[in-house]
Chains A and B, each alone.
Chain A
Amino acid sequence: MIDDLTELTIKDAARLLRLGSISSAELVTAHVERIERLDPHVKAYLRFTPELWESQADEADRKIGQGEAPPLAGIPMAVKDVLCVRGVETTAGSQILRGFKPPYTATAVARLFEAGAVMLGVTNCDEFAMGSSTENSGYFPTRNPWDLDRVPGGSSGGSAAAVAAGEAMIALGSDTGGSIRQPAALCGVVGMKPTYGRVSRYGLIAFASSLDQIGPFARTVDDAAITLSLMAGFDPLDATSSDRPGLEVLNSSGGTVKGMRLGVPREYYDVKGIEPGVKAALDAALFILRNAGAEIVDVSLPHTDYGLAAYYIIAPAECSSNLARFDGVRYGLAEVDAPNITDEYMQTRRKGFGTEVRRRVMLGTYALSSGYYDAYYLKAQKVRTLIKRDFDEAFKKCDAIVSATSPTVAFPIGSKTQDPLSMYLCDVLTLGGNLAGLPGISVPCGTSDGLPVGLQVLGPQWGESVVLRVARSYEEASEIRAEVASVV
């Protein structure tokens, strides 16, 4: 008897598919049934793609039958609403793009389609990936499968919640300041942000181009690693993408932390606002890693206190430029009855963008405006250099950095929406990885008051294999596996 098909890992599903014990169509049906039962409560998905899942599952079953199954043949996948899929409505969680059907598919998604993945639907997110709770979605908030009164984190909250609830085996997200790792932590799944440049950003609706990276959600480190390896690599359509080595997928016996030095930055360990339950879970994780043979060393990231400030100049500045294209002329919402073109732009953008997006566009425009550029944008870029150097220094003393992913567990819906700064502080442990372009992962490391806690592992640039090795050894030694939430 096969266990619930929505709780399988890629490896187990692939074996059963190749043995002929299950078909891709059955695997998809099991997920669709679970979605029908749970998603009215969780609301992880914005829209579904039945035409795609039917044709892709048929194709997977045909290839498996012919013995030519690609690595992800038949694996059910959810895609964050910031990744373009040809002909599938893609809106970046925003009303300004309602109805937009991209004429092309993002490279990361196209590569996973090529690898046999089956797309179930488009997942909810904070508008233009700006937020840490998915409450800034222009459609509706997503709920945490572990407690429906709490947020799933964000901005990729729909993808994290879908994987946590067994509504997809894997999901794609994007991470600009923590938008994969933080929701992964809050939903108790694995989420990975690769090195800047590891995955092509072609077809990703841009938020902050020097920080954005696409990455996977999964319920095991191996599943995240396989998914990442299949979408990584140089793409002629993204000049910042790269074929650099460092992404060797671990074989089943590989990966031990024995003899590795793991740095605990004291500024992260004692970060302001860290909950006692989160710290306790982190301490337990450090104990397990030490028992597994790692040496835990004290490191310092002295400019941590300035990270949030630098980030909230750089990211809004880049977003104010990237979002200038939403003018109601070529796509999306338009107030076409305006008397002149300037009013048309202004009315379209006032109506189409939500509060957080408008706030960041204003902040970024201000920081780049005449007379303030040196004081804000240039200053933030210089502090970014110092933050990058902090990490360079730390990696001279350790192979990887470990910390909590988020200072808190999932918080109640509505509890931070009135105070933007309190929401921004959710990313205080993750945004440094974006400013420095580092690979990072969040893996489940127990619970606090019944809610999941995430362990973050950061590595040096192009050091995904180091990050995956630590995460995998921790997963093995702790025997903590992402569970599928029962929801209701």
Chain B
Amino acid sequence: MPLSRDEVRHVAMLARLGLEPGDEDFYAEQLSGILEHIDRLQQVDTEEIPPTAQVVEIASRLREDEPRPGLTQEEALANAPAKVDGFFRVPAIQEEA
């Protein structure tokens, strides 16, 4: 089914992807084309078929809960675009009271 420009805006917001002029039409057209191909899945009878999320049989592995060294604070922050006093810096998410 074709995707509307409103749906493109909604999906872009969910995915936290900014849109620039022309993006809405571009993605509405392209995603609709891909979804048209994907719609053939509806032809397959899957009434009795269980879904596969993971193809290889593996048992859940557990390990002892033992402390191990991880990244140091310096290593963890080394790639941060903005940091302050040993923290990642982001814009404020709350107004000052």
Please give, as numbers and ranges, the residues of chain B lying within 8 Å of A362 by CB-CB distance.
8, 11-12, 15, 17, 27, 31
Inter-subunit contact B41/A309 (CB<8 Å): yes
Binds B, one of A125-133, A158-166, A322-330: A322-330
Please give, as numbers and ranges, the residues of chain B lying within 8 Å of A269 by CB-CB distance.
none
Known contacts A309-B41, A421-B33; A381/B53 CB under 8 A: yes
Please give, as numbers and ranges, the residues of chain B lying within 8 Å of A386 by CB-CB distance.
44, 46, 49
Query: CA separation between A381 and B41, bound complex, in Å?
Result: 11
Inter-subunit contact A240/B58 (CB<8 Å): yes
Inter-subunit contact A350/B78 (CB<8 Å): no
Inter-subunit contact B14/A365 (CB<8 Å): yes
Within B13-39, the residues touching A (CB, 8 Å) are 14-20, 27, 30-31, 33-35, 37-39
Inter-subunit contact B41/A310 (CB<8 Å): yes
Please give, as numbers and ranges, the residues of chain B lying within 8 Å of A13 by CB-CB distance.
none
Inter-subunit contact B42/A366 (CB<8 Å): no
Can you name the residue of chain A whose Cβ is closest to the Cβ of B81?
A: A334
Question: Beta-carbon contacts of A270-305 to B below 8 Å, as 1s and 0s?
Answer: 000000000000000000000000000000000101
Inter-subunit contact A103/B81 (CB<8 Å): no
Inter-subunit contact A332/B56 (CB<8 Å): no
Inter-subunit contact A385/B49 (CB<8 Å): yes
Inter-subunit contact B53/A210 (CB<8 Å): yes
Known contacts A101-B79, A362-B15, A461-B56; A382/B33 CB under 8 A: no
A138 interface residue, CB < 8 Å from B? Answer: no
A450 interface residue, CB < 8 Å from B? Answer: no
Can you name the residue of chain A whose Cβ is closest to the Cβ of B61?
A: A239
Prevailing SS type, chain A contact patch: helix
CB contacts between A and B, total, < 8 Å? 171
A contact residues, range:
35 or more
A341 interface residue, CB < 8 Å from B? Answer: yes
Query: CA separation between A342 and B92, bound complex, in Å?
Result: 11
* A233 CB → nearest B CB, Å: 14
Binds B, one of A73-81, A184-192, A353-361: A353-361
Question: Beta-carbon contacts of B75-96 to A below 8 Å, as 1s and 0s?
Answer: 1101111100000111111000
Query: CA separation between A345 and B12, bound complex, in Å?
Result: 12
A221 interface residue, CB < 8 Å from B? Answer: no
Within B41-74, the residues touching A (CB, 8 Å) are 41-44, 46, 49-56, 58, 60-61, 63, 71
Query: CA separation between A109 and B71, bound complex, in Å?
Result: 19
Give the number of residues in B that approach A within 8 Å (Cβ atoms).
Answer: 54
Query: CA separation between A342 and B18, bound complex, in Å?
Result: 10
| Among B38, B49, B50, B81, contact of A376 (Cβ-Cβ < 8 Å) | B38
Please give, as numbers and ranges, the residues of chain A lying within 8 Å of B53 by CB-CB distance.
210, 381
Please give, as numbers and ranges, the residues of chain B lying within 8 Å of A320 by CB-CB distance.
15
| Among A341, A343, A363, A384, contact of B52 (Cβ-Cβ < 8 Å) | A384
* A138 CB → nearest B CB, Å: 16
Inter-subunit contact A435/B55 (CB<8 Å): yes
Please give, as numbers and ranges, the residues of chain A lying within 8 Å of B90 by CB-CB distance.
329, 341, 344
A230 interface residue, CB < 8 Å from B? Answer: no
A246 interface residue, CB < 8 Å from B? Answer: no
Inter-subunit contact A349/B56 (CB<8 Å): no
| Among A239, A313, A353, contact of B38 (Cβ-Cβ < 8 Å) | A313
Inter-subunit contact A332/B79 (CB<8 Å): yes
A379 interface residue, CB < 8 Å from B? Answer: yes
Inter-subunit contact A345/B16 (CB<8 Å): yes
Known contacts A210-B54, A350-B18, A379-B46; A363/B34 CB under 8 A: yes
* A28 CB → nearest B CB, Å: 29
Can you name the residue of chain B whose Cβ is closest to the Cβ of A338?
A: B91
- Can you identify 23 A-B contacts, CB atoms within 8 angstroms? A104-B71, A236-B63, A239-B58, A309-B39, A329-B80, A332-B79, A333-B81, A344-B91, A346-B16, A349-B18, A351-B18, A361-B15, A376-B38, A376-B41, A381-B51, A383-B44, A384-B51, A385-B52, A386-B49, A420-B33, A420-B34, A421-B37, A436-B55
Chain B residues proximal to chain A, CB less than 8 Å: 3, 7-8, 10-12, 14-20, 27, 30-31, 33-35, 37-44, 46, 49-56, 58, 60-61, 63, 71, 75-76, 78-82, 88-93
- Give 8 closest A-B pairs by Cβ, nearest first: A350-B18, A381-B51, A334-B81, A437-B55, A346-B18, A331-B79, A382-B46, A365-B15
